[in-house]
């Protein structure tokens, strides 16, 4: 196990910031820590890096108990994107070189690594620019490059895609994917960016007001929660189409869209045939896949949102 939280609580002053938190991060897994502002995500990350110590319970990293004083060996194997700010007056190259030396990386390797990373992150033309002249997204890229240049076993990212343009988000995610697949790196990311997260993440933990609300494998959690297949049907007469769909199973109009549920995937073939046979024009039938975002809203709000079908299933 790369990280292990066992009944961890953190009290600051008279308030419990985290209460009785339990979760594991496995080798080569991507773990997303989710929760609203002030939920306790940063505090959780700080307990892992030893910046804070637990009031109760035990935090283990690479199988060893973490304590705030003597964790140099453990920290050597962790990469932290938001560890501290960049040196604004130094260039990108100087920042990365300095950090590489701190990690004890050989000078030649530092050069190769900087080349490799600046290529991937498309920052070659900014290598000799002072950090103070970079945009927010570019600084974010330098922070990520800095965190991964010593090839850590555990990479901790706090809002890694914040400030990045859509193309760069895709590039960063696919690079992180390579890190996981090729080097078996474990990634812990705290994020508010939920869209498309299931393509990249293995496990999730949702915390709210310092309490663990949900934890486990994202796909299993979603499949257990929503067992039926939901299809959205776009036709020229949704009212008529609804009556036909109702003969086959639970169907309803939501936000002007016709949705129908099937227990088995191939049932949609019979429904679409019936719609065609009636003479309706069908413009599209799309499967609605439930997502981590649906799971998040259900868990945090405990109520319906535009993506969830809680009342119907």
Ligand X SMILES: Nc1ncnc2c1ncn2[C@@H]1O[C@H](COP(=O)(O)OP(=O)(O)OP(=O)(O)O)[C@@H](O)[C@H]1O
**Residues within the interface to ligand X (CB under 6 A):** 12, 17, 35, 37-43
CB of residue 66 to ligand X, shortest distance in Å: 17
CB of residue 139 to ligand X, shortest distance in Å: 18
Q: How many CB atoms lie within 10 A of CB 73?
A: 9
Nearer to ligand X among residue 82 and residue 124 (C-beta): 82
CA distance 201 to 191: 11
- Token pair in block for residue 147: 């965190």
Which residues share a beta bridge with 285? 233
Nearer to ligand X among residue 12 and residue 282 (C-beta): 12
Q: Which residues contact 150 (CB under 8 A, 6 or more apart)?
A: 76, 79, 100, 103, 105
Nearer to ligand X among residue 33 and residue 92 (C-beta): 33
Q: What are phi and psi of 257, to 5 degrees?
A: -110, 140
CA distance 30 to 190: 11
CB of residue 17 to ligand X, shortest distance in Å: 4
CB of residue 284 to ligand X, shortest distance in Å: 37
CB of residue 39 to ligand X, shortest distance in Å: 4
Helix (H) or strand (E) holding 148: helix 136-148
Q: Which residues contact 42 (CB under 8 A, 6 or more apart)?
A: 158, 190
């Amino acid at each position: 196990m790369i990280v292990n939280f066992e009944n961890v609580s953190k009290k600051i002053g008279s308030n419990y910031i985290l209460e009785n938190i339990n979760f594991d991060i496995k080798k080569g897994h991507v773990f997303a820590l989710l929760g609203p502002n002030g939920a306790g995500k940063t505090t959780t990350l700080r307990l892992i890096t030893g910046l804070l110590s637990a009031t109760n319970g035990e935090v283990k990293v690479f199988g060893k108990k973490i304590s705030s004083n003597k964790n140099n060996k453990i920290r050597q194997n962790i990469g932290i994107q938001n560890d501290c700010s960049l040196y604004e007056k130094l260039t990108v190259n100087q920042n990365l070189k300095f950090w590489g030396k701190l990690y004890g990386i050989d000078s030649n390797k530092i050069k190769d690594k900087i080349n490799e990373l600046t290529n991937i992150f498309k920052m070659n033309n900014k290598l000799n620019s002072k950090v103070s002249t970079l945009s927010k997204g570019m600084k974010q890229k330098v922070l990520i490059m800095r965190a991964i240049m010593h090839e850590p076993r555990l990479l901790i990212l706090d809002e890694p895609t914040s400030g990045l343009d859509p193309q760069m988000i895709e590039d960063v995610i696919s690079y992180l994917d390579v890190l996981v697949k090729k080097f078996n790196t474990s990634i812990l990311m705290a994020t508010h960016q939920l869209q498309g997260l299931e393509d990249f993440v293995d496990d999730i933990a949702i915390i709210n007001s310092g309490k663990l609300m949900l934890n486990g494998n994202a796909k299993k959690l979603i499949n257990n929660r929503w067992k039926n297949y939901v299809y959205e049907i776009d036709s020229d007469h949704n009212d008529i189409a609804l009556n036909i769909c109702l003969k086959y199973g639970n169907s309803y109009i939501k936000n002007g869209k016709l949705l129908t549920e099937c227990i088995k995937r191939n049932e949609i073939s019979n429904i679409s045939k019936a719609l065609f046979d009636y003479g309706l024009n069908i413009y599209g039938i799309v499967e609605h896949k439930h997502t981590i975002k649906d799971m998040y809203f259900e868990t945090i709000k405990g109520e319906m949102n535009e993506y969830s079908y809680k009342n119907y299933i």
